[in-house]
Amino acid sequence: MEMARSALFGFLVFALTSVATFATDAGKQNPQVNLYNKGVEEAARDNYSKAILFFTMAIEIEPQFAPAYVERGRAYIGLKDYPRAVSEISKGIKLNPKSAYAYVQRGLALSLQGQIDPAFKDLAQAEKLDAKEIRVFLVRAIIFDRIGDTDQAIRSISEAIKMDPIMVYPYVKRGGFYIKKRAWQKALQDSNKAIELNNGRATWAYKNRAVVYGEIGEWEKSLKDFETAQKFYPLNAEVFWARGWMFARKGNHNKAIADYNIAISLEKKPTTALVGRGSSYCELGDFKKGFADLQRAIKLDPMLGDAYFTRGYYYCRRNLLDKALTDLNRAISLDPTNENAFFVRGMVFFQKSMFSRAFQDFGAGIRAFQKNYP
């Protein structure tokens, strides 16, 4: 199994969209600014609910305080309440329609709830307002990644690197994109660059490098980098589910499940870890638990193509062909670049003696593979 193609989309959202607090002197003169600054600080610590309280208090004092609405929207992004986020940020845009930053945030929130075209429209407006707004390219890159266009994602994030070659996050994210392309050396180079720029404390770069080392067979280096990532960020779910995925790749599903359990306990909506754990349960023959995890992931995120693909794959292995076909159709509709979904659906058609459809899917899978990994 590949690492979930819909990897946690909220990954480092607040790092890539960071916003400065207002000057301390202004906070002393204006209590709403002081409350706003506290909200920004809490959001940076991932204390989103507490941040919302501070932004709300700031708005109660000054109802025309546009940045507070935008930041309250960002906090709702952190809580994965995307409709509320769009609503809040739209209030900020109405009060200040010339804020490129606000359009970036709304574009991000829209994309997270599957509204891709409106998201790109907001990013285009942000770029029109401020051509040097680097976050346009960062968010555009992760939207392209979300819809399976890794090549466009790499191009967009590379533009961000040209604009700010010493910013850590773009190297981390591009390294992740190169992992999806199986371009291990390029991923390794970007991970090393991020670690160098951040004085050895780039947690996510260590996670990416751990994955690369695992893929190229340097297992001890992989485990060491995962341990380093956990040391810097001990309560982050993605580090645990990434290591769980690597254990699963090595066939050690019991260790994988142990890591997935930790990841699930750390997240409100642990969709990626649920897909991984569901897969490992199925590999161990416990299909009841496996299918329960996959169903839970789908319930949490009905747009999660990887969950449908994984369940469809195991339905196929269990010879539940009609159920497999339903899930694989859904997976392909959500991510038409997933070559594995075409191959497995082709196997389903073959077993149903629908040979023409089977060979069509095998051909589509080969073309998708060649495009994904040129």
Residue 114, CA atoms < 13 Å, CB-side half-sphere: 7
Name which CATH class applies to 251-302. mainly alpha
Q: Between the CA of residue 114 and those of 154, 233, 268, what are the distances in Å? A: 21, 29, 19
Q: Between the CA of residue 335 and those of 10, 34, 77, what are the distances in Å? A: 19, 44, 23
Q: How far apart are the first and last CA of the chain?
A: 20
How far is residue 160's CA from residue 167's CA, in Å, rounded to a whole number? Answer: 9
CATH for 1-147? 1.25.40.10
What lies within 8 Å, CB to CB, of 298 at 6+ separation is: 304, 307, 308, 311
Per-residue pLDDT of the chain (374 residues; tens, 9 = 90+): 444 433 333 444 444 455 555 544 444 568 999 999 999 999 988 899 999 999 999 999 999 999 999 999 999 999 989 999 999 999 999 999 999 999 999 999 999 998 999 999 999 999 999 999 999 999 999 999 988 899 999 999 999 999 999 999 999 999 999 998 999 999 999 999 999 998 766 778 999 999 999 989 899 999 999 999 888 878 888 889 889 998 998 899 999 999 999 999 999 889 999 999 999 999 999 999 999 999 999 999 999 999 999 999 999 999 999 999 999 999 999 999 899 999 999 999 999 999 999 999 999 999 999 988 87
Topology agreement, domain 1-147 and domain 304-374: yes
Q: What are the helix and strand counts (H, E) for the chain?
A: 22, 0
Token pair 């069509």 is found at: 360
Domain boundaries, the chain: 1-147, 251-302, 304-374
Q: Between the CA of residue 38 and those of 106, 139, 266, what are the distances in Å? A: 22, 25, 24
Beta strand ranges found along 123-238 (DSSP E): none
The third-level CATH classification (topology) of the domain covering 304-374 is 1.25.40
